Amino acid sequence: MQDKIKSLSAEIDQFKAAKLDELEALRIKYLSKKGEITALFTDFRHVPNEQKREIGQLLNVLRDKAQDKINELKDALESKQVSVAGVDLTRTPDLIPLGTRHPLSIVKNEIIDIFSRIGFTIEEGPEVEDDWHVFEALNFAPEHPARDMQDTFFIEQNPDVLLRTHTSSVQSRVMKAQKPPIRVLCPGRVYRNEAISYRAHCFFHQVEGLYIDKDVSFVDLKQVLLYFAKEMFGEHTEIRLRPSYFPFTEPSAEMDISCNLCGGKGCPFCKHTGWVEILGCGMVDPNVLKACGIDSNEYTGYAFGMGVERITNLKFQVKDLRLFSENDVRFLQQFQAAY
């Protein structure tokens, strides 16, 4: 793969385009969903674990290099459209205010970037799912409360079809379709039948991670989460793991970070405890591995999941979840200079 990366890097250096449509053809060839660089990211899952960090960095550099080269050529071509008088005839006569990324997108992309540096690849799945992928494959008992209408939106015409309540359904799809080693990150929107208030909504966003291989331990999980916390919230961030319960992991834990407002000394935001909960995690339950066709005697794994809104609240101190979905321009304009 390193030879292919070097070859594509040399091709990028030779990029030339006399027209915008020629430039678009280059973009499609290299950066589209079926482009050559995108194909390398797809093949990344087959790279040996000991090479993932190095290859991952090379792929990110290659993608950025291609995008920067295309942007450079695009700027040069568009500048030629300006008339001799210095007037760009393609511009609108009305001033259009610049937009910004949504705060949830800013934080989601930052989370993805952090985990991509250590070999996690992105997997996505449908938001309308079936009971097996959302519940049964993940060791939810038939009488589990999450199956009740109070928590889940079911499709009336087919009670086996529902809006996914977590992106763990993507993990069950991946485990069913792929053989270990598996190292994936699953971002997406999820739905739960809850009353809308400043602290809860009927839809929100999650990022969940899954790693399955031989000899994976809880120590591996702890080190990955410590790395994430320090990258996201700062080098001085500390973590603690508290025993908890999730149907699909055993043992399970909830992770807290030292409050990034008071530095762990105690303040109203952390309820004077010095700690703030940000995610749940644990070792994948052998029943989940078995349901997805993976030998639990040979493989072990860990999983973790976090709410993007929760992390965004910690980063930007947004105290009303409803603001994220109301499209209030005044609220969104606050993030123009965020990233």
Lowest mean pLDDT among 273-277, 299-303, 328-332: 328-332
Residues 328 and 223 in one domain: yes
Lowest mean pLDDT among 51-55, 145-149, 166-170: 145-149
Residues 176 and 69 in one domain: no
Residues 240 and 301 in one domain: yes
pLDDT of residue 111: 96
Over range 8-36, report the average pLDDT.
84
Domain end call among 47, 79, 111:
79
Residue 271 pLDDT level (bands cut at 50, 70, 90) = confident
Q: Is the pLDDT of residue 338 over 60?
A: no
Residues 50 and 113 in one domain: no
Q: Is the pLDDT of residue 209 over 90?
A: yes
pLDDT of residue 169: 94
Over range 244-259, report the average pLDDT.
93
Q: What's the Rg (C-alpha) of the chain? A: 23
pLDDT of residue 112: 96
Residue 284 pLDDT level (bands cut at 50, 70, 90) = very high
Residues 69 and 148 in one domain: no
| Residue at 85 is within a domain | no
| Residue at 96 is within a domain | no
Q: Share the mean pLDDT of the chain.
A: 87
Q: Is the pLDDT of residue 214 over 90?
A: yes
Residues 30 and 151 in one domain: no
| Residue at 88 is within a domain | no
Three-state secondary structure string covering the chain = CHHHHHHHHHHHHCCCCCCHHHHHHHHHHHHCCCCHHHHHHHHHHHCCHHHHHHHHHHHHHHHHHHHHHHHHHHHHHHHCCECCCCCECCCCCCCCCCCCCCHHHHHHHHHHHHHHCCCCEECCCCCEEEHHHHCHHHCCCCCCHHHCCCCCCEECCEEEEEECCCCHHHHHHHHHHCCCCEEEEEEEEEECCCCCECCECCEEEEEEEEEEECCCCHHHHHHHHHHHHHHHHCCCCCEEEEEEEECCEEEEEEEEEECCCCCCCCCCCCCCCCEEEEEEEEEECHHHHHHCCCCCCCCEEEEEEEEHHHHHHHHHCCCCHHHHCCCCHHHHHHHCCCC
Q: Are 171 and 210 in contact (CB under 8 A)?
A: yes
pLDDT tens profile 118-137: 999 999 999 999 999 999 99
Over range 53-57, report the average pLDDT.
85
CA–CA separation, 285 vs 279, rounded Å? 18
For residue 267, how far is the Cα from the chain centroid? 30
Q: For residue 255, report the phi and psi dihedrals to the nearest 5 degrees.
A: -110, 130
| Residue at 62 is within a domain | yes
| Residue at 261 is within a domain | yes
Over range 222-250, report the average pLDDT.
94
Residues 243 and 314 in one domain: yes
Percent residues over pLDDT 70 in the chain? 95
Lowest mean pLDDT among 4-13, 20-29, 140-149, 265-274: 140-149
Q: Nearest CA to 180 among 45, 24, 273, 11?
A: 45
Over range 82-87, report the average pLDDT.
55
Q: Is the pLDDT of residue 62 over 90?
A: no
The domain total for the chain is: 2
| Residue at 84 is within a domain | no
Tokens 């300006």 correspond to: 82
Q: Is the pLDDT of residue 87 over 70?
A: no
pLDDT of residue 138: 93
| Residue at 94 is within a domain | no
CATH code of residue 231: 3.30.930.10
Residues 107 and 75 in one domain: no
Q: Which domain holds residue 57?
A: 2-79
Over range 61-76, report the average pLDDT.
86
Residues 141 and 175 in one domain: yes
Q: Is the pLDDT of residue 204 over 60?
A: yes
pLDDT of residue 86: 62
Residue 264 pLDDT level (bands cut at 50, 70, 90) = confident
Residue 81 pLDDT level (bands cut at 50, 70, 90) = low
Residues 138 and 23 in one domain: no
Residues 112 and 49 in one domain: no
Residues 139 and 238 in one domain: yes
pLDDT of residue 198: 81
| Residue at 34 is within a domain | yes
pLDDT of residue 339: 54
